[in-house]
């Protein structure tokens, strides 16, 4: 009986591995196709319940920058609400940010989430009459700023992480 259970367990593990490789492969193929065929912010079809849209995510690089300066998981759990929640308001997720006081405008412009939210709004409101009322920048501007922030956060975060590991 033990040999049968081991064989079933091995088949299950191999099946799980094959499914994971297939999903990862399809994910990478679809991302490559989107990068090659769609401009940032472009969606196909333009309308409908199901759309494929070219968007990017700079959150990983920002997280690396912050986490490189934290000493433990507990510190990260205590700090991240104070880092992330203000970005929700400064990015305009809950409130309009067309007219902000100058000091909040500066904070909003250095918030990475602002550009991801605006790019999403570009895609959603494209071709609609309320577009100029909702969208702050063009998809190209949002994509360029997100790329610059991604590179800056990734380089700075990696440098700080390597330095902290060497000083252990």
For the chain, 168 residues long, give each residue's pLDDT as a single digit of tens: 455 555 566 677 777 778 878 887 888 888 788 888 888 777 787 676 777 777 776 566 666 666 667 777 787 778 778 877 888 888 888 777 878 888 888 988 888 889 988 988 888 888 888 888 888 899 999 999 989 988 888 888 888 878 877 776
Q: What are phi and psi of 136, to 5 degrees?
A: -95, -45
158 in a structural domain: yes
**What predicted TM-score, i.e. pTM, was given to this entire model?**
0.55
94 in a structural domain: yes
45 in a structural domain: no
21 in a structural domain: no
Q: In 10 A of CB 111, how many CB atoms? A: 21
Q: How many domains does the chain have?
A: 1
Give the pLDDT confidence score for residue 144 in this predicted structure: 92
Q: In 10 A of CB 89, how many CB atoms? A: 16
Q: What is the distance, to the nearest Å, from the Cα of residue 90 to the centroid of all Cα atoms in its chain?
A: 16
Whether residue 97 contacts residue 108, with contact meaning beta carbons closer than 8 Å, is answered with yes
5 in a structural domain: no
What gap in Å lies between CA 129 and CA 133, rounded to an integer? Answer: 8
Which residues, 6+ apart, have CB-to-CB distance to 138 below 8 Å?
122
23 in a structural domain: no
136 in a structural domain: yes
Residue 111, domain extent: 56-166
132 in a structural domain: yes
For the chain, helix (H) and strand (E) counts, in that order, are 7, 2
């Amino acid at each position: 009986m033990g040999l049968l259970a081991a064989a079933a367990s091995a088949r299950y593990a191999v099946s799980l591995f094959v499914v994971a490789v297939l999903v990862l492969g399809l994910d990478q193929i679809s991302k490559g196709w989107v990068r090659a065929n769609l401009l940032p912010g472009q969606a196909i079809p333009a309308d409908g319940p199901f759309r494929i849209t070219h968007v990017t995510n700079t959150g990983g690089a920002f997280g690396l920058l912050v986490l490189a300066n934290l000493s433990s998981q507990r510190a990260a759990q205590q700090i991240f609400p104070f880092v992330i929640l203000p970005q929700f308001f400064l990015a305009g997720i809950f409130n309009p940010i067309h007219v902000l006081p100058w000091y909040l405008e500066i904070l909003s412009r250095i918030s990475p989430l602002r550009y991801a939210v605006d790019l999403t709004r570009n895609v959603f409101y494209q071709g609609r009459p309320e577009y100029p009322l909702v969208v702050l920048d063009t998809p190209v501007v949002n994509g360029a700023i997100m790329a610059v922030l991604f590179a800056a956060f990734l380089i700075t975060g990696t440098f700080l992480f390597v330095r902290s590991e060497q000083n252990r």
